[in-house]
Amino acid sequence: MSAVPPPEPAARSSVARVRALDVYRRRRGCESSRIGQDFVVLDAEGAMLRGLNATGARVWELLDGTRSAEQVAQEIAAELRVEQRRALADVLAFVERLLERDLLERADGPTAERSGGAR
């Protein structure tokens, strides 16, 4: 789903369990842009650039703090005509990788509480 390399082993333990019914959003300060056929994401510190394939870019767009991971997977399954179960497994794995890289956060997490909820 993406060109994001696997995380360092130590990073895995710092991420809370990803759940299908949780709502996730892009971390404040992360920027994304489509450049031709490429889609890139820059982390909030401006230090790390990640390239996403078309499916990863679509999931990134859908992770806006208004849909659960399961709802994102339902949209992906419908758009790509794949099994819902397969789409959900892929979305959850992708969400985990984005969380590990601080590109994503749970919409009801500490940042949401400080800012008054999901945007």
* Mean pLDDT rounded to a whole number for the chain: 80
For residue range 35-70, list pLDDT tens digits in order: 888 888 878 887 777 888 889 999 999 999 999 999
Report pLDDT for 118. Answer: 37
What is the CB neighbour count within 10 angstroms for residue 63?
23
- How many structural domains comprise the chain? 1
CA distance 79 to 72: 11
For 51, 62, 82, 110, the CA distances from 57, given in Å and listed in that order, are: 9, 9, 17, 25
Reading phi first (left if > 0) and then psi (alpha if -120 to 50, else beta), residue 10 is in: alpha
Asked if residue 8 belongs to a domain, the reply is no
With respect to residue 3, please indicate whether it lies within any of the assigned structural domains.
Answer: no
Decide if 44 is inside a domain: yes
> Is residue 83 included in any domain, yes or no?
yes
Least Cα distance to 64 among 20, 24, 112 occurs for: 24
Q: What is the pLDDT, as a whole number, of residue 15?
A: 55
Question: Is residue 9 in a domain?
Answer: no
The whole-angstrom separation of Cα 45 and Cα 31 is 10
- CATH code for the domain in which residue 49 is found: 3.90.930.60
Q: Report yes or no on whether pTM surpasses 0.85.
A: no
Q: Which domain holds residue 96?
A: 23-105
